[in-house]
Structure 1
């Protein structure tokens, strides 16, 4: 319930108040703006259209960050933009856009959106029964467009004609105070697009902002709306959330606002059970994987979703595999069946492209073999195309507190040796009968039985 003593500023923003901030009063400089983005707005302006840089790029420039993307808003229709730029393409049905391509650089251009309510039920604007916008191609003015944006800090427009910044929702003040505030009635806006709750968490983590009370309050109650979002879209959102360089903080906020369960229900259940059982390494594994991803992003090193999903889904996969083993299934088939089941079920919530799901299974399948360290398999494992990813995951498990009999350290050491050193290390492993749990029991060679004692050799020493 809203506190009656809250100031007027904490109430939902329902009406735009246009403020023009001249060049000498803001920090946005053309030197930090993509040349291609400036070309797009200048071309549109020269043809008589309004065109502005808008959204996160202006917000980030205010915060002295380096925007990765530059978006344009204009009163030109998508078809008009397409005609002006031969190097462009129309995309989208739910939300029609134009991508203007400059080699590998892409500038996204959107036509000013209007409030959809007056068009509800028409072809250009469709809603689901829960209020989610299914199609939103209702066009309007710049003021309309500002009110259709999600957060005040994303409703800033840069005018390339006089280099001013146009602020409709007091976004500059919210940037100054570090406040993340939804435009409009939060409950309605979250029903229109539940992904806005994920964006609120992502921006709060990335910008180190605090959510305004009216923006924060409904989230815990509306997380179930994410179950209606297509799984392919949620996969993309998960990558933005957890591969942004702020994955640890984002994960903790997702758990705090009960948004992790709709994305990873099996993992959330496994985490809750592990925490109840004082099994801390399960939670630690996910934190360590996110720390590793955050470091790589900050170092501009590549990251793969497969590694992250391998860590996120490992807890439920291990629990299911243990259940199958307890029912009498051998470990390797148990792991394989558990892997397939967990990944298949997860795809109902966040679709995982096959190229990543196959790599997840490869990483998991190699774990048993890396743990066992069977001498005859060492060389082939070192040459395996997914060895490095599986090795990194093994080390991550050890770092999280899982007891693997120093397998991670062993594989680290053998990679640092030359060929002679490797052979010596493998020979030493052979003399000790492989991993300790294998024991010193040696397999007897199967002999071809004589015809008179075949019955007595039906049970051999092989297992």
Structure 2
């Protein structure tokens, strides 16, 4: 009897849920598709893009698709960068051919992605990404899935170029270069925003951020990278929306952090992320340590680290993700280690335990790979060892694989008042000294032996006669 009642209740709940689902889907179906402005075509004489600036492999893809009877355009960041006179990092193609049709045209093609399927056409190390025009997405079906907050989880709805425009994020990223007549098609006044240096979202900003909260990070990144101003509507939507990022997988946020901080605009990006409350979602421990400090040392170290990173990239030098994260998370580690030492832990173990705890919390927000977290721990673990300058320990530390990065981190701390500058100067001199000079530098000073040379201890030789066997 009880089981029968339960089945009736369950069936009733299911019927109600299905009814609500049909009502919601019906309401969505009645919403008219978003409209875009009438397209404006900019002829070759009205823009600065030349075929000579475009990758030969991208041209091959465009011409081949058109030869097979499909539409094909360059779109997105490559068109934007070409108009700015910059060399694009990569070239993206959009077409009315679906991924399977693209694969039939190119034998060197691989289809990737679940959230939105893409075709990658491989030419050695260069990959040309080919996407199919996306539909307007007003109706949710098996090809498109949204969660309760409105974030797109899967999106394989195909459509026309007019619908595809609506699905792009910013107007300056929605310009289509047509290889057929070398024109640029503009449906959303992207060229005008481009000329005025305005970064404007296509559609209602709050809705677009809910669809994909990572767009908030992209807005900051593009504004800083391009030197554009955020449109007032975009600024207003950013304030108070940072919590939406908590729904994004930590692995994806790690990738976004690398794009934010490792491309030459780290310092400006850091300031802008904090302005809109986005930094505290990515690095909550760091934000708390910055807010709680009476002095400005933590912020000074971060600013100097980010500025040094930008300078290295400007000089054509490499920067590493682990060094950046070591700087971003150092203050939480230092504060935790100090507390542990006050509780009686020795310095080395205090820093080791603090590092483990901070990284364990951080990977919940930005899931860094294991080799990155191990490198960060090594940089931090070597910091207390720099205080030992006598005996054989300095020479052994010099041979550590992570010594160079750890010493650079020591210099960073010395420059911002986190450690005595004399210590960094000593290690700089020690590295440059020859072997004899290094030996002299690591001998105990007379202060530690009462002002007198330290006496050598000799083992007393045995004077007993050998025993006959």
TM-score (norm 1): 0.88
Retained in 2: the 8 A contact 1:371–1:404? no
The alpha-carbon deviation at position 405 of structure 1 amounts to: 4.9
The alpha-carbon deviation at position 417 of structure 1 amounts to: 2.1
Retained in 2: the 8 A contact 1:75–1:112? yes
* Partner of residue 160, structure 1: 179
Separation of aligned partners in 2, 1:364 and 1:374? 21
* Partner of residue 332, structure 2: 316
* Partner of residue 282, structure 1: 298
Separation of aligned partners in 2, 1:98 and 1:413? 55
* Partner of residue 9, structure 2: none
Retained in 2: the 8 A contact 1:16–1:143? no
Retained in 1: the 8 A contact 2:414–2:421? no
Separation of aligned partners in 2, 1:432 and 1:172? 74
Off by >3 Å, runs of 4+ in structure 1: none
- 1:54 equivalenced with 2:75 (yes/no): yes
The alpha-carbon deviation at position 423 of structure 1 amounts to: 2.3
* Partner of residue 110, structure 1: 131
The alpha-carbon deviation at position 216 of structure 1 amounts to: 1.0
Retained in 1: the 8 A contact 2:254–2:366? yes
* Partner of residue 361, structure 2: 345
* Partner of residue 7, structure 1: none
- Most deviating of 358-367 and 374-383: 374-383
* Partner of residue 382, structure 2: 366
- 1:72 equivalenced with 2:73 (yes/no): no
Question: Aligned match of 1:326 in 342, 345, 353?
Answer: 342
The alpha-carbon deviation at position 308 of structure 1 amounts to: 0.3
Separation of aligned partners in 2, 1:172 and 1:95? 27
Separation of aligned partners in 2, 1:19 and 1:144? 16
Separation of aligned partners in 2, 1:67 and 1:98? 19
1:226-266 Cα distance to aligned partner (Å, 9 max, x none): 01100000000000001110000000000000000010001
* Partner of residue 288, structure 2: 269
Separation of aligned partners in 2, 1:259 and 1:222? 8
RMSD: 2.0
* Partner of residue 431, structure 1: 445
The alpha-carbon deviation at position 420 of structure 1 amounts to: 2.7
The alpha-carbon deviation at position 337 of structure 1 amounts to: 0.8
1:419-442 Cα distance to aligned partner (Å, 9 max, x none): 233223223xx22679xxxx99x9
Question: Aligned match of 1:34 in 42, 48, 55?
Answer: 55
Higher Cα Rg: structure 1 or 2?
2
Retained in 2: the 8 A contact 1:16–1:146? no
Question: Aligned match of 2:39 in 15, 18, 30?
Answer: 18
Cα distance change, pair 42–130 in 1 and its aligned pair in 2 (3 A): same
The alpha-carbon deviation at position 20 of structure 1 amounts to: 0.7
Retained in 2: the 8 A contact 1:14–1:184? no
Q: Tell me the matched-pair count.
A: 422
SS at match of 1:80: helix
1:32-88 Cα distance to aligned partner (Å, 9 max, x none): 111111111111111111111100111111111111111111111011112211212
Separation of aligned partners in 2, 1:433 and 1:266? 42
- Most deviating of 18-27 and 364-373: 364-373
SS at match of 1:221: coil
Cα distance change, pair 432–403 in 1 and its aligned pair in 2 (3 A): farther
SS at match of 1:375: coil
Separation of aligned partners in 1, 2:105 and 2:434? 61
Retained in 1: the 8 A contact 2:118–2:130? yes
* Partner of residue 26, structure 2: none
Separation of aligned partners in 2, 1:372 and 1:268? 32
- 1:296 equivalenced with 2:312 (yes/no): yes
- 1:96 equivalenced with 2:153 (yes/no): no
- Most deviating of 287-296 and 411-420: 411-420
SS at match of 2:240: helix
1:186-217 Cα distance to aligned partner (Å, 9 max, x none): 01000000000000000111011111111110
TM-score (norm 2): 0.87
